[in-house]
Amino acid sequence: MSADAKKTLVFIPFPIISHLVSAVDTAKLLADRDDRLSITILIMKRTLDNKISSYTTKSPHPRINFLHLQENKSLASGSMGDKNWALLFAESHRDLARDVVVEMMESQKGRLAGFVLDMFCTPMIDVANELGAPAYIFVPSGSAFLGLLLHLQSLRDDHGKNMKEYEGSDVEISIPTYVHPVPAKVWPVKVFDNETGILECARRYRETRGIIVNTFLEFEPHAISSLSADARIPPVYPVGPLIQGGGEETDENKRKREEIIAWLDKQPHSSVVFLCFGTRGIFHGEQVKEIATALEQSGVRFLWSLRKPPPEGTIEFPGEYENPEQVLPEGFLRNTTGIGKVIGWAPQMAVLSHPAVGGFVSHCGWNSTLESVWCGVPIAAWPLFAEQQTNAFQLVKEFEMAIEIKIDYRKGSGVIVRAGTIENAIRQLMDPENKIRLKVKEVHDKTRAALVEGGSSYNFLGRLLENIMDNTH
């Protein structure tokens, strides 16, 4: 291959581990499909996240390399309190990213094929424009949610609607990517406040060459066809499901994983409900007790990932309890010996793919949603923040493949979901006759097919590659 045939694609993911891993998985898919492509992933540093440093130490592919940008001291991690910190963070790295890419391209003598930018990194579109390269947006969430953002942005910018008016209201509005009207109560809170900049990001998606989404046609057929039919939206490329494996595990986590799997190995098929609420999912005292009561009263076997809230006012990640008894009702661990296990960190994919697991009480983060479908495990939906309420609405109301615990629950709202509600949802979830099991199985059977040669995501990835390779002349 002549040197001039080499083309470089630059990825700029947002430095949150779930966004980063999906972006790297997409980069791997592209590099595997076309050996003329080399990929550089720019890593913006956040003081906070050690997981990112360890994840980006070694390259996942011979033609993918990580390039760490210097830390921008002017934007200390404390400013995450700002409503639009994500946008400010990306903006503050804009010049740095441009200079690094210019220098890299001069030294490589290759050609710049384009930029793949995280959904929160829209300020980097300016860098692509300045360097005369196309920009693509990477959305680690689903396509129905993407449609929600674009529709609300159009309502605000083209029809003069004030999003504040919807906040806290019982309004439901028709959004093209959903079959049913979507209640304002399940929209992400950030859309109600102009200062967060999320609709500003959505406005800029329209300027790009294409939008790559971590989803697949068989899972979101209505949303994907609706986006594709809208001439004001760039081409959408569903290339998922990109499933996040456990990543690099510490020795301590390997030990915990073995212990958890050994416990599951002793449980009957499809008998265990798994409760896990993501990397930031925590509950406080009274709510923890209600969950415990529900589990005990249901009599269902359970594996519960119970995380310790970080100190108030900090932005640290949840931790592990030295002794979970301090937050659980007295006697709970003793009463549930043999049928239940309370853990801290959980190897989620290993648990969901274990035959003993028959249900998943989840916060409905998009990665967890895809993993549940990949493993064929139905969900009881208990969203906490971000776009999780929207995902929960989609699973419960649109797809009828999940049980509702409370789809408009907001973390920090002071609302306590009572034991009776949780118990009832768990019983329904674990009922082998429940029709949601069939729905989940139907989609589960199509997940792997989407990714193999001739599958829908495989074909969309091919179209995306053609588009990228056509850009460089």
Are residue 354 and residue 377 in the same domain, yes or no? yes
The confidence score (pLDDT) of residue 473 equals: 47
Are residue 239 and residue 260 in the same domain, yes or no? no
The candidate with the shortest Cα–Cα distance to 227, out of 269, 294, 175, is 175
Are residue 418 and residue 456 in the same domain, yes or no? no
Bigger pLDDT: 68 or 378? 378
Cα 456 to Cα 446: distance, rounded to the nearest angstrom: 10
Cα 128 to Cα 376: distance, rounded to the nearest angstrom: 40
Say whether 68 is catalytic: no
pLDDT greater than 60 at residue 124: yes
Are residue 395 and residue 304 in the same domain, yes or no? yes
Q: Would the pTM count as exceeding 0.75?
A: yes
pLDDT greater than 60 at residue 304: yes
The predicted-structure confidence for 8-40, as pLDDT tens digits, reads as follows 999 999 998 889 999 999 999 999 999 999 999
Bigger pLDDT: 417 or 248? 417
Cα 365 to Cα 175: distance, rounded to the nearest angstrom: 21
pLDDT greater than 80 at residue 48: no
The confidence score (pLDDT) of residue 3 equals: 43
Active-site residue (options: 19, 151, 354, 363):
19
β-strand 7-12 against 379-381: which pairing, if any?
unpaired
Confidence class for position 317, pLDDT limits 50, 70, 90: confident
CATH number, domain containing residue 386: 3.40.50.2000
Please give the helix or strand (H or E) that residue 358 lies within, else none: strand 357-362
Collect all residues with Cβ–Cβ distance below 8 Å to 394 and sequence separation of at least 6: 142, 144, 145, 178
List the Cα angle 242/43/374 in 5-degree steps. Answer: 10
Let me know: does 332 contact 341? Beta carbons within 8 Å.
Answer: no
The candidate with the shortest Cα–Cα distance to 420, out of 291, 302, 272, is 291
Say whether 473 is catalytic: no
Are residue 282 and residue 416 in the same domain, yes or no? yes
The predicted-structure confidence for 50-87, as pLDDT tens digits, reads as follows 678 777 878 889 999 999 998 766 655 445 556 788 89
The predicted-structure confidence for 132-173, as pLDDT tens digits, reads as follows 999 999 999 999 999 999 999 999 999 999 999 999 999 999
Q: What are the strands, taking DSSP E only, across 5-103?
A: 7-12, 37-43, 64-68
pLDDT greater than 70 at residue 368: yes
β-strand 182-183 against 172-173: which pairing, if any?
antiparallel
Are residue 182 and residue 226 in the same domain, yes or no? yes
Mean pLDDT of 314-327: 85
Mean pLDDT of 110-139: 96
The confidence score (pLDDT) of residue 8 equals: 95
Are residue 225 and residue 345 in the same domain, yes or no? no
Tell me the two tokens of residue 56: 């980006």
The confidence score (pLDDT) of residue 246 equals: 60
Across 79-88, 238-247, 357-366, the highest mean pLDDT is recorded for: 357-366
Amino acid at residue number 136: Y
What's 452's DSSP letter? S
Confidence class for position 323, pLDDT limits 50, 70, 90: confident
| Dihedral Cα 82, 366, 263, 259, nearest 10 deg | -50
Mean pLDDT of 83-99: 91
- Percentages (nearest 5) of helix, strand, coil residues in the chain: 45, 15, 40
Are residue 440 and residue 428 in the same domain, yes or no? yes
pLDDT greater than 60 at residue 1: no
Mean pLDDT of 358-371: 97
Q: To the nearest whole percent, how much of the chain has pLDDT over 70? A: 94
Q: How many CA atoms lie within 13 A of 156 on its CB side?
A: 22
Give me the phi and psi of 73, to 5 degrees please: -65, -25
The phi-psi region of residue 197 (left if phi > 0; otherwise alpha if psi is between -120 and 50; otherwise beta) is: left
Active-site residue (options: 93, 118, 151, 363):
118
Are residue 261 and residue 140 in the same domain, yes or no? no
The confidence score (pLDDT) of residue 318 equals: 87
Tell me the two tokens of residue 402: 């999940």
The confidence score (pLDDT) of residue 347 equals: 94
Residue 281 in 3-state DSSP? coil
Residue written as tokens 């989620």? Answer: 348
Confidence class for position 342, pLDDT limits 50, 70, 90: very high
Write out the residue range of the structural domain in which residue 40 sits: 3-244+448-471
Are residue 186 and residue 37 in the same domain, yes or no? yes
The confidence score (pLDDT) of residue 71 equals: 73
The confidence score (pLDDT) of residue 430 equals: 98
What's 8's DSSP letter? E
pLDDT greater than 90 at residue 126: yes
Collect all residues with Cβ–Cβ distance below 8 Å to 236 and sequence separation of at least 6: 143, 146, 210, 211, 213, 224, 227, 228
Q: To the nearest whole percent, how much of the chain has pLDDT over 90? A: 79
Cα 369 to Cα 17: distance, rounded to the nearest angstrom: 16
| Dihedral Cα 467, 231, 386, 216, nearest 10 deg | -50
Cα 382 to Cα 407: distance, rounded to the nearest angstrom: 6
Are residue 237 and residue 264 in the same domain, yes or no? no
Domain count, the chain: 2
Are residue 284 and residue 219 in the same domain, yes or no? no
Mean pLDDT of 309-321: 81
The predicted-structure confidence for 191-237, as pLDDT tens digits, reads as follows 999 889 999 999 999 999 999 999 999 999 999 999 999 999 999 99
Mean pLDDT of 34-49: 86
